[in-house]
A and B are shown apart, each in its own frame.
Chain A
Amino acid sequence: MDFSYKEKGLIASLGVALLIFGWYFYGAFSNLKLNPEPPGFVEIIVLIVLIVFLESIIHSLLSFKNRTQLEDERDKLIEKVSYRYGYWVLSACIWFLMVQILLDTRFDHLIFLTTPNGIFHLLLFFFVLSEVINFITQLYYYRKGI
């Protein structure tokens, strides 16, 4: 299968996000019931720096091999449409979280999600989910056309 420079970049970003955040969320959500406090500021900064660092390396390697490539109107259109899908997912998730906080007595078995640590990680998870949806939608439109 022949992938363009943009598609390779998207797959790399998707892979890095899934790998690092998947590893992070696995640890975070499995300890959520034990720890009600949100993670330290340094821990989150390290996570973000790690992602930016890995993505920068991969994108630099890809752009080194594709120096003639540029971004055109089709790329911008696909990006715009995909960001809209990401926004819808994020909005739906934020509404879900608001309802969850208001009706926490109805979700007694999920009460650990309404602790500061739970809310922090749910919010982080929703942001990552919307970004993943954005990447997947872009890949879909690059393959299927727009």
Chain B
Amino acid sequence: MSQQTLADKVGVTRQTIFAIEKDKYSPSLKVAFKISNVFKASLEEVFTYD
């Protein structure tokens, strides 16, 4: 899935998806849950906390 497609599904910009991937931005819980829902996975499977 492209960054733009994910961004459109979640309702954020492609730059925000890029920043999340590069660990330059921690999304809000709302966006984190939306991303998890897109991938049909749990929050822990998509995100990790250091």
Which residues of A are interface residues toward B (Cβ below 8 A)? 4, 6, 69-75, 142, 144-146
Q: Which residue of chain B has its CB nearest to the CB of A70?
A: B13
7 nearest interchain CB pairs?
A: A145-B24, A72-B12, A74-B16, A4-B15, A72-B13, A72-B16, A74-B25
- A144 and B24 contact, CB distance less than 8 A: yes
CA distance A145 to B26 in the complex (A): 9
Take A73-B28, A73-B31, A74-B25 as given contacts and tell me if A145 and B19 are in contact as well, using a CB distance cutoff of 8 Å.
yes
- Chain B stretch 4-46: residues in CB contact (< 8 A) with chain A: 11-13, 15-16, 19, 22-25, 27-28, 30-31
Chain A residues lying within 8 Å of B23, measured Cβ to Cβ, are 145
CA distance A131 to B13 in the complex (A): 25
Q: Which residue of chain B has its CB nearest to the CB of A69?
A: B13
- B25 and A145 contact, CB distance less than 8 A: yes
Chain A residues lying within 8 Å of B22, measured Cβ to Cβ, are 145
Which residues of B are interface residues toward A (Cβ below 8 A)? 11-13, 15-16, 19, 22-25, 27-28, 30-31
Select which of A73, A144, A146 is within 8 A of B12 by beta carbon. Answer: A73
CA distance A4 to B18 in the complex (A): 11
From A69, A74, A145, name the one whose CB has the most chain B CB atoms within 10 angstroms.
Answer: A74
Q: Which residue of chain B has its CB nearest to the CB of A73?
A: B28
Chain B residues lying within 8 Å of A142, measured Cβ to Cβ, are 15
- B16 and A146 contact, CB distance less than 8 A: no
Chain A residues lying within 8 Å of B24, measured Cβ to Cβ, are 144-146
